[in-house]
Structure 1
Amino acid sequence: MPLHVFYDFDEPAREDALVTERDAMGGELYDRFETLREMLAWGALLRFRVNKMPQKCEGILSSDDPDLLSHLDPLMSSLGFIKPIPTGPRCGLYERHDAVMICKRTPREELLGHQAFRLGGRDAGVLRKILGRMATESSLEVEVDEWTPALR
């Protein structure tokens, strides 16, 4: 059974509130997103774009700067990606016709220079070009943990 979603109105963020989850019968709360808008957009891009792409990968982006997205945003824009909604420093959403990338980090945890990502595209070549440009044209370090389907 899926967890229930709750707002934490004691933690406002960008005209919205922190989103947490827990079992309906109580128990520990799990922080998920800084805003409901981010949660809905991230979930929609994952379900209807990333997961529908023929080639996918996931991994970790790292930077010496805790505000990692300030380095990623201009790079993704230069690669032709748009941001479907404005987001904060813990959620990045980027899409273009042949690829989509989502990344996030847990709210309330210390803002460190690491962020998990998922990237989907029409083929491995498109994804490799995007990842290569991230690694060479920014201060970001890119670590891919898994390719789906696996590369040969």
Structure 2
Amino acid sequence: MMSQHLFYDFNASTREDALVTKRDAEGGELFDMFGTLREMLARDALFRFRVCKMPQQCEGAVKGNNPDFLSRLDSVMSSLGFTKPISTGRRCRLYDRPDAAMICDGLPRSGLDNRLNFTLGSGSAGTLRKILGEIATESSLEVKVFTWTPVLR
């Protein structure tokens, strides 16, 4: 078994960078991964060095009523004290504050313009629930949690 390799798709350039795709080294179908290499590196760093280091994490999806739902999500996260470490495109969001971090991403050409998966980490389940509750109270956003790590009792 051979790992897949990352490639730039220069025909799908975005924001002075190129779409990041992956495929088998010997060819085959390309799978879109990130809007830009910068997003990929920042997402991986925030995930590895912030979210994964948090004692409590959850994974799920956030969905909006329209393709512009990210402006509502950005507004809620800002009101909760989160900053965005870098600017990102419509298929990636990165949020950070001292006690919590969240990554949201989706496949760039997936056709799901109103949904992103997320991983959220913090020091406690209570903090995560409060953050998710604030997001869910925004009438144009819907939150669904799939897993908690460690599992809640």
TM over 0.5: yes
Query: Does structure 2 conserve the Cα–Cα contact (< 8 Å) formed by 1:135 and 1:142?
Result: yes
TM-score of the pair, normalised by structure 1: 0.95
Aligned length: 152
The 5 Å alignment of 1:73-88 reads 73-88=74-89
Query: Does structure 2 conserve the Cα–Cα contact (< 8 Å) formed by 1:75 and 1:138?
Result: no
Task: Quote the Cα distance in structure 2 between the aligned partners of 1:129 and 1:38.
Answer: 27
Task: Quote the Cα distance in structure 1 between the aligned partners of 2:72 and 2:46.
Answer: 21
Corresponding residue for 1:20? Answer: 21
Task: Quote the Cα distance in structure 1 between the aligned partners of 2:60 and 2:26.
Answer: 34
Tell me the percent identity: 64
Give 5+ residue unaligned stretches, structure 1: none
Give secondary structure in 2 for the equivalent of 1:27. coil
| AA of the residue aligned to 1:8 | D
Task: Quote the Cα distance in structure 1 between the aligned partners of 2:88 and 2:31.
Answer: 20
Give secondary structure in 2 for the equivalent of 1:26. coil
TM-score of the pair, normalised by structure 2: 0.95
Query: Does structure 2 conserve the Cα–Cα contact (< 8 Å) formed by 1:62 and 1:142?
Result: yes
The 5 Å alignment of 1:17-56 reads 17-56=18-57
1:64-105 alpha-carbon deviations (Å, 9 max, x no partner): 111221111111111110100000111000000110000111
Give secondary structure in 1 for the equivalent of 2:89. coil
What RMSD in Å do the two structures reach over aligned CA positions? 1.1
Alpha-carbon deviation of 1:111? Answer: 4.4
Give 5+ residue unaligned stretches, structure 2: none
